[in-house]
Amino acid sequence: MITAVEVKLERWREALAQATSYRRFADRAFVVLDGNRVRPSAELRMAFAAASVGLLLQYRTILKPVIKARRVRASSPDRFDAIQKLLDV
């Protein structure tokens, strides 16, 4: 299983767009945002749930789950490229 993570301080729309693009090759995608800067509004929660992207808020060393990432088996050519890059490391 490939899991992708996008980390931003507070620009959640940008982070969600990036994490959504990771779904081309990843089975799950998460965004981590600074919990001291971001409040999980209804709009934010609905956007992440609709995109099947997980959301975690970080408070120093603690990660608080807000939205679960839905696992979807990616099968695009991008997935095979990502696996090849991981195996070549």
pLDDT digit string, tens, across residues 42-81: 999 999 999 999 999 999 999 999 999 998 876 677 666 7
Q: Give the pairing type, strands 54-59 and 28-34.
A: parallel
As a whole number, the mean pLDDT across the chain is 90
% of the chain beyond a pLDDT of 90:
71
